[in-house]
Amino acid sequence: MSNEIVTDVVIIGAGPVGLFAVFELGLLDVKCHLIDILDRPGGQCAELYPEKPIYDIPGFPMVTGQGLTDNLMQQIAPFGPEFHFSRMVTKLEKLEDGTFRLETDADEVFLCKVVVVAAGGGSFQPKRPPVEGIEQYENKSVFYAVRKMDDFRDQDVVIVGGGDSALDWTLNLQPIVRSLTLVHRRDAFKAAPASVNKMKELVMEGKINFLMGQIGKLDGKDGQIDHVHIAMDSGDTPLPATRLLPFFGLTMKLGPVADWGLELNDNLITVDTAKFESSVPGIFAIGDINHYPGKLKLILSGFHEAALMAQAAKAVVSPGERVVFQYTTSSTKLQKKLGVV
Amino acid sequence: MKILVTDQSGVEHELEGLDGWRTMEVIRDWGLNIKAECGGACSCATCHVYVEDGWFEKLPDPSDDEEDLLYSTLDKKPNSRLSCQILLSEELDGMRVTLAPSAAKDSEAA
């Protein structure tokens, strides 16, 4: 039986624009749930450039992607948004009464009055490594994420990559596997130094292996690998393995958004510039995923879109209710909502 | 300043470049098929190009990060580079590059 969640608004995407939408909707007493495929808030800011300085956020001469995310999380905390991470919205349908029903790949159902698509460039999906025929092993013996640790118990595991995911799973899985080999094309890692040190200790203690090289072909049958070939300076090295975890980073794919019956323009959702509403009334699109004449893919544009969307969404959530426009500088009512008076 | 960019269908385009721009930005600005999803942060490999002999040698060596990303593409060649890491200068006036299949907006390879 699916877990059913009823709310005013579901925001698809917890990047900077989705997060700020919580603020604008919150000022109007509209309650939000957010769904994101990543395991944390921030979207591209967190995944692609957490350390990169951004110079064009109004009022911030410089802020990093992670810094902006942290600030937004602090700014929206008074509104108690509820986050659902590491899942993808697979289905979105409009019900006869005009409300919406969403399904996620984590077997949840959301019922809501308004949907805000703030999905940026689409959903982040793991990159498939450059290995021929890898598809036939996927989700059987080759995995791009660890969903159940037990799938790796007493297995001969090969982990490929030099980032935090590769290092974290090397450390987490080591105690339960039969053998573990970490493969990276060089002897330098883009991961937390503490994890790198711990990994090196495990190698010294002989508990895991580290090989410098690249994965080549896979041997196996019926979806089950038995050897991973590693191209090393010394030549091709076949490595006995029953599980492969390649961590080659993430890439953005539009994903299920294309199937929701929304009018698209070159894979972007067409919206008007008064409400930022899509071709389906009640479904709004803000940030990088929308398209309108003059659109600029800037975070600040997404913030503006969120503010105007919120006014229109409020009218859908509370029909007939008069919305009084107020400023946070002068309205005690708004200040109470923010918890500052 | 001009650069010559061959797209995934084999058509060559002569693009006006600007000193100090990233090659990726010029290609994107002229509307060719380049995904460039991270916007120049050297973290995605979706602006992958092949740089023609003679020009490839003029470029500064790639960083370790760029190399890691190039190795993550299905279509890496010896003359592969990420175009967001190629800053244009007068010295590169006339450079010829070809967009890799994995740089296409709808590429599955990227």
Domain match, A156 and A102 both: no
Domain match, A9 and A117 both: yes
Domain match, A244 and A140 both: yes
When pLDDT is cut at 50, 70 and 90, the band that residue B108 belongs to is low
Answer yes or no: is the ipTM higher than 0.90: no
Domain match, A99 and A145 both: no
> Which one of A248, A268, A292 terminates a domain?
A248
Contacts of A125 (CB under 8 A, 6+ apart): A37, A250, A251, A252, A253, A255
Cα A250 from Cα A245, distance rounded (Å): 14
Predicted confidence (pLDDT) at residue A127 exceeds the cutoff of 60: yes
Number of A–B residue contacts, CB under 8 Å:
45
> Which one of A181, A215, A248 terminates a domain?
A248
Residue of A nearest to B38 (CA): A48
> Which one of A248, A278, A304 terminates a domain?
A248
Interface of B with A in 26-45 (CB under 8 A): 37-39, 41, 43-44
Domain match, A102 and A37 both: yes
Q: What is the CA radius of gyration of chain A?
A: 23
Predicted confidence (pLDDT) at residue B84 exceeds the cutoff of 70: yes
Predicted confidence (pLDDT) at residue B109 exceeds the cutoff of 60: no
Predicted confidence (pLDDT) at residue A267 exceeds the cutoff of 90: no
CA nearest to A278, candidates A266, A292, A294, A262:
A262
State the nearest Cα–Cα gap between B5 and chain A, in angstroms: 22
Cα–Cα distances (Å) from B92 to A117, A310, B20, B24, B25, in that order, read: 42, 48, 11, 14, 15
pTM of the predicted structure, to 2 decimals: 0.83
The amino acid present at B18, given as its one-letter code, is L
Domain match, A132 and A243 both: yes
Q: How many domains does chain A have?
A: 2
Give the Cβ contact number of residue A230 at 10 Å.
Answer: 22
CATH number at residue A37: 3.50.50.60
A14 vs B107: which has the higher pLDDT = A14
Domain match, A225 and A277 both: no
Under a CB-based contact definition with an 8 Å cutoff, are residues A341 and A59 in contact? no
Q: What is the dihedral of CA A75, A80, A86, A90, to 10 degrees?
A: -110
Identify the pLDDT of residue B74.
83
Domain match, A262 and A276 both: yes
Identify the pLDDT of residue B110.
43
Q: Write the residue in B64, B72, B75 that is nearest to A127 by C-beta.
A: B72
Instruction: Read off the pLDDT of residues A165-207 as tens digits, 9 standing for 90 and up.
Output: 999 999 999 999 999 999 999 999 988 999 999 999 999 999 9
Residue of B nearest to A288 (CA): B37
Domain match, A91 and A194 both: no
Residues of A in contact with B65 (CB under 8 A): 190
Domain that holds residue A15: 3-124+251-338
Report, as an integer, the average pLDDT of A11-35.
Answer: 98
Domain match, A136 and A176 both: yes
Under a CB-based contact definition with an 8 Å cutoff, are residues A258 and A264 in contact? yes
| Assigned CATH class of B2-103 | alpha beta
CA nearest to A181, candidates A153, A160, A152:
A160
Listed by start position, the domains of chain B span: 2-103
Q: Specify the DSSP class assigned to residue B11.
A: -
Interface of B with A in 59-98 (CB under 8 A): 64-65, 67-69, 71-76
